[in-house]
Amino acid sequence: MRTANIGVLKNQLSAYLKYVRNGEEVIVCDRNVPVARILPLRPHSSLDAEEARLVAAGILKLPNDPNPMDWDAFWAIPTANVSDEAVKEAIDWAKGER
């Protein structure tokens, strides 16, 4: 892991991005106080071109957990039995009709 103050990073951005491309993390500091991290993107072969563009633009954030969601296990979780009256009361309460 490397650290760089904002001015140094600005002047040597290409060099620091080379470190990031090689898998290193760069901590950005403002007057020696850490304010941000530059992390390498994990290679995702499952990303299509549009998803890769959204990630690069900062619009889409990749999940931190490399394990995919087990939807079958999720939907197998038993649900509670709630009466219609209790649901109506909860909706009224949420709307502020108390």
Supply the CATH number for residue 18's domain: 3.40.1620.10
Per-residue tens of pLDDT for the chain, all 98 residues: 899 999 999 999 999 999 988 888 999 999 999 999 998 876 656 778 888 888 888 888 877 766 778 889 989 999 889 999 999 999 999 998 65
Total count of domains within the chain = 1
- The model's pTM is 0.47
Domain that holds residue 18: 2-68
Q: How far is CA 7 from CA 13, 16, 62, 69, in A?
A: 10, 12, 29, 42
Q: Is residue 48 part of a domain?
A: yes
- Give DSSP secondary structure letters for 55-75: HHHTSS---S--SPP-HHHHH
